[in-house]
Amino acid sequence: MGSGKSTIGKVLANELNLSFVDLDHAIEKQIGMTISDFFAASGELKFRRLEHDVLNSILAENDQLILSTGGGTPCYGNNLQLIKSAPNAKVFYLKASIKTLTERLLSEKDTRPLIQSIGDEDLPEFIGKHLFERSNFYLQADHVIDIDQKSVEIIVKEIVELL
């Protein structure tokens, strides 16, 4: 969350002349409401099941695309294995420091269901805890890209060089 997956994914897809799919947007389109509203109405467990089903559909229908997932997507069910087993799949972890993520997310709290109720002073600890809990999954990516202090163009260039 907050690492720039959607922004970088769009630019990368344009650079490579591929389709871009933001998993969160695909979910919202399917359910006809925001993820925040779905989360509030149905909870995280139902969201994660829905997320898995939409991810599975996207991967089954498309074999040449740039896919941006939510930060929790690879950590639930067999989502990471599902992504990595897709034809020609390359998984990138856009790694940001707690400081960078905190700075970015403070202004976006209202649109992020997982952090809406977290106090500003508690956000760095929350982010650190989630990074620690999720690091085992994130570090299974094919490539780890450190994004701190880098422009979108530099990050995209690094990814293209690794493809």
pLDDT tens digits, residue range 60-116? 998 889 999 988 899 998 999 999 999 889 999 999 999 999 988 887 777 776 777
Mean pLDDT of 135-141: 94
pLDDT at residue 113, as a whole number: 66
Which is more confident, 155 or 62?
155
The torsion defined by the Cα of 111, 50, 55 and 94, in degrees rounded to 10, comes to: 30
> Is the alpha carbon torsion for 125, 7, 62, 95 positive or negative?
negative
Which domains, from first to last, does the chain contain? 5-156 (3.40.50.300)
Q: What are phi and psi of 152, to 5 degrees?
A: -55, -45
Q: Is the pLDDT of residue 6 over 80?
A: yes
Burial class (CB in 10 A: 0-12, 13-18, 19+), 26: middle
Strands (E), the chain: 19-22, 65-68, 92-95, 143-146
This model's pTM is above 0.75: yes
Q: Judge residue 121's burial from the number of C-beta atoms within 10 Å of its C-beta, 0-12 exposed, 13-18 middle, 19 or more buried.
A: exposed
Nearest-angstrom CA–CA distance, 107 and 17: 32
Task: Please tell me the least confidently modeled range out of 1-5, 99-103, 146-150, 156-160.
Answer: 1-5
Going by the DSSP 8-state scheme, the letter that residue 151 receives in this structure is: -
